Amino acid sequence: MNFFSVYLILKRLLDLALSLFGFFLLSPLALLISIAIWLEDGRPIFFIQQRIGREGKPFYLLKFRTLGYRKSNSLLAKMLRKTALDELPQLINIFKGEMSFVGPRPFIPEEVLNDKYFFQRFKVKPGLTGVAQIFAFRDAPSKKKLKLDLWYIKNMNIVLDLMLILKSVFLSLATRWDAKGLNERVGK
């Protein structure tokens, strides 16, 4: 068994452990968010969209619905997006093995480019968080995000994954996902 195989096993065990921990720790919050969405805007509570995963296989990504509201700029919708709590249902995607905590963000089928570099992203599971999500502006050019994703794939390891998870937790708690100035010198 080579180093990369051991890493993938450790990564999957980490994903399972953190997703189960997240279910138990955050299920009361998820229930409150569900009730708040239902009271404010009705159903559906979840946004479900087909995305492309590892090896180009499609899966259905889960999120709390924050767009398509009659009040899409409501305080609740803004807070969920700013803290990334709208992504909480993706713990189910991670537990099922469709996603990982760390990896390139999954694309919708229409966004997939016919490019050999782009398809390298499909060598790994897509992630809830990753280098491009943390270090690139939300509206950064696709080439910048691709460069960061490829850097991650080339350098991925458990220590890097843990650092990115911790950075993501900090960004969520500090409500700084949309803040500027996060473009540290990664992947240059």
Q: 116-140 pLDDT, tens per residue? A: 777 788 889 999 999 988 888 777 7
Q: Which residue has the higher pLDDT, 106 or 98?
A: 98
Mean pLDDT of 137-151: 84
- Evaluate whether residue 74 is within a structural domain: yes
The mean pLDDT value of the chain amounts to 85
Q: Which residue has the higher pLDDT, 177 or 32?
A: 32
Q: How many domains does the chain have?
A: 1
pLDDT at 63: 94
Alpha-carbon gap, residue 34 to 150, rounded angstroms = 35
- Evaluate whether residue 63 is within a structural domain: yes
Does 115 score more than 80 pLDDT? no
State the pLDDT confidence band at 70, using cuts at 50, 70 and 90. Answer: low
- Evaluate whether residue 165 is within a structural domain: yes
Alpha-carbon gap, residue 33 to 28, rounded angstroms = 9
- Evaluate whether residue 83 is within a structural domain: yes
State the pLDDT confidence band at 178, using cuts at 50, 70 and 90. Answer: low
- Evaluate whether residue 133 is within a structural domain: yes
Least confident residue range of 2-16, 58-72, 156-170: 58-72
For 23, counting Cβ atoms within 10 Å of its Cβ (0-12 exposed, 13-18 middle, 19+ buried), the class is middle
- Evaluate whether residue 180 is within a structural domain: no
- Domain extent for 84: 3-173
pLDDT at 183: 43
Closest CA to 124 of 147, 144, 98, 148: 98
- Evaluate whether residue 22 is within a structural domain: yes
Q: What is residue 98's DSSP assignment?
A: S
pTM of the full predicted structure? Answer: 0.85
Looking at residue 32, its amino acid is: L
- Evaluate whether residue 117 is within a structural domain: yes
Alpha-carbon gap, residue 39 to 180, rounded angstroms = 33
